[in-house]
């Protein structure tokens, strides 16, 4: 019989460095045709995470042991090159956050630093390191050639303290963001998962003000907004693992992608509010997108929506090429 850990927390304190097994590069697992996906690629270089966000899907997914980090960077990069060289015209966005936090373990592994150096050598790929940590000091001096976007998953301070256990406080994330901004990195902002809580409008307003007190819009590669969503079977797990959390008591419905999320009017209210706050700080050049949302929600929030998932991919590539010269040429829009 396989060894089964009893508790998802068991593997969080034990770090193992492992070799690459099987394919590590894929597309984001949340891909579903009724919802618009940003078409990002994911490099599965981290499995599990030392943090304990009450909404994290890992508590339902990884229950088989330690936190694992692939230390075989040359093997990872071999696979990345193999894929991106097949289509040199395309600009690939590649994130390492699918099964964990890109920087939480950086002080022990140095994995992100190695990846930044490797991606600096590529012409048609951008690495996205997404984090809820403030572990950035060791990457500040690296020559990144704009080929790495350091992104933060951001939330209202109240949500961070109540539901993102062990992560860096908002204040620390903002300080780290400032350091990264000053080191000349591109920055990604992910307001995701937005969570309804008491006085949420003010919470998100303060968050946006804090962020834009340290970064300028011209260094922001992209901004995403998304709302709380999880597999239905996660509800009981969350309630069991985090009895004090009220996350699951909200008004939520099951979507066509088999995930529960807030009812649409509530999601729209949150996106409208956040987007109107962002508009005070950003320009038309900043790509803002919704993570795993329906086309009609895009239309209600932005007044428009991409024609397809590949059109959205094109819009990203065009923005990154025009603003930072990323990619080998201005991308060409593909007709669907």
Partner 1 sequence: MSIENVEVKNLLVNDSIFSLKNYILESTPDPSCQISSFHTFGILYPVIVYRDRKKQLHLIDGVKRMHHAKLIEQKKIQAMILPETTPVTDIISLMICNKRHEIGSSIINKIQSICFAISLNAPEAWIRDTLCLGFDFKPHTEFLRGCERINNLPREIKQFCHDKKTSLKQLVNFTYYPRELLKTLISWKSELQLTASILDEIASHLNDYLRREHKNINGFLSEPEVQEIFDSSLGPREKTEKVRQLLYLKKFPILSSANRRIENMVRRISLPKEIDIHWDRTLENKKIDINVSISDPIKWSGILTTLRSDELKDLMESILEEL
Return the number of the residue (84 or 196) whose C-beta is nearest partner 1. Answer: 196
Q: Can you tell me the distance from the alpha carbon of 14 to that of 68, in angstroms, rounded to the nearest whole number?
A: 8
Return the number of the residue (90 or 173) whose C-beta is nearest ligand SF4. Answer: 173
The count of chain residues that interact with partner 1, using the rule CB under 8 A, is 21
Q: Can you tell me the distance from the alpha carbon of 187 to that of 206, in angstroms, rounded to the nearest whole number?
A: 19
CB of 161 to partner 1, least distance (A): 18
Q: Report CA-CA distances (Å) from 288 to 36, 275, 281.
A: 13, 9, 12
Q: Is the dihedral of CA 48, 159, 150, 227 positive or negative?
A: positive
The listed partner (partner 1, ligand SF4, none) that binds 289, CB under 5 to 8 Å by sort, is none
CB of 63 to partner 1, least distance (A): 8
Answer for which of 58, 159, 247, 252 binds ligand SF4 (CB under 6 A) is 58
Question: Is residue 290 within the footprint of ligand SF4 (CB under 6 A)?
Answer: no
Looking at residues 239 to 268 of the shown chain, list those that interact with partner 1 (rule: CB under 8 A). Answer: 239-240, 246, 248-251, 253-256, 263-266
Question: Is residue 330 within the footprint of partner 1 (CB under 8 A)?
Answer: no
Question: Is residue 100 within the footprint of ligand SF4 (CB under 6 A)?
Answer: yes
Kindly give, in sequence order, each residue whose CB lies less than 8 Å from that of residue 103, ignoring residues fewer than 6 positions away.
112, 129, 131, 133, 135, 136, 139, 150
Q: Phi/psi of residue 221, each to 5°?
A: -70, -45
Kindly give, in sequence order, each residue whose CB lies less than 8 Å from that of residue 334, ignoring residues fewer than 6 positions away.
310, 311, 314
Q: Can you tell me the distance from the alpha carbon of 212 to that of 152, in angstroms, rounded to the nearest whole number?
A: 13
The listed partner (partner 1, ligand SF4, none) that binds 332, CB under 5 to 8 Å by sort, is none
Looking at residues 164 to 193 of the shown chain, list those that interact with ligand SF4 (rule: CB under 6 A). Answer: 167
Interacting residue ranges for ligand SF4, rule: CB under 6 A: 49, 51-53, 56, 58, 100-101, 132, 167
């Amino acid at each position: 019989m396989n060894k089964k850990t009893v508790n998802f927390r068991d593997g969080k304190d034990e770090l193992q460095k492992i070799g690459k097994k099987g394919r590590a590069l894929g597309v984001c697992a949340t891909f579903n045709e009724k919802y618009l996906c940003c078409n990002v690629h994911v490099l599965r270089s981290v499995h599990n995470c030392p943090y304990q966000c009450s909404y994290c899907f890992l508590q339902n997914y990884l229950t088989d042991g330690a936190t694992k980090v692939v230390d075989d960077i040359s093997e990872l990069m071999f696979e990345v090159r193999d894929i991106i060289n097949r289509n040199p015209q395309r600009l690939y966005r590649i994130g390492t956050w699918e099964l964990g936090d890109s920087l939480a373990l950086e002080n022990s592994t140095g994995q992100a630093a190695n990846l930044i150096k490797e991606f600096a050598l590529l012409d048609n790929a951008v690495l996205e390191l997404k984090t809820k940590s403030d572990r950035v000091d060791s990457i500040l001096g690296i020559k990144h050639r704009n080929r790495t976007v350091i992104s933060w998953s951001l939330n209202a301070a109240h949500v961070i303290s109540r539901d993102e256990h062990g992560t860096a406080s908002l204040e620390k994330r903002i300080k780290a963001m400032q350091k990264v901004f000053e080191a000349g990195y591109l920055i990604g902002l992910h307001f995701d998962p937005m969570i309804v809580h008491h006085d949420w409008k003010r919470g998100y307003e303060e968050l946006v003000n804090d962020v834009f007190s340290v970064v300028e819009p011209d260094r922001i590669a992209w901004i995403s907004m998304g709302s709380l969503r999880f597999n239905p079977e996660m509800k009981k797990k969350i309630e069991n693992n985090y009895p004090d959390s009220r996350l699951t008591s909200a008004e939520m419905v099951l979507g066509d992608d088999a995930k529960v999320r807030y009812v649409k009017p509530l999601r729209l209210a949150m996106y409208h509010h956040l987007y109107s706050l962002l508009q005070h700080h950003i320009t038309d050049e900043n790509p803002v997108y919704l993570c795993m949302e329906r086309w009609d929600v895009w239309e209600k929030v932005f007044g428009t929506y991409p024609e397809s998932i590949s059109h959205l991919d094109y819009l990203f590539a065009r923005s990154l090429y025009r603003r930072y010269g990323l990619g080998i040429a201005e991308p060409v829009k593909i007709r669907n």
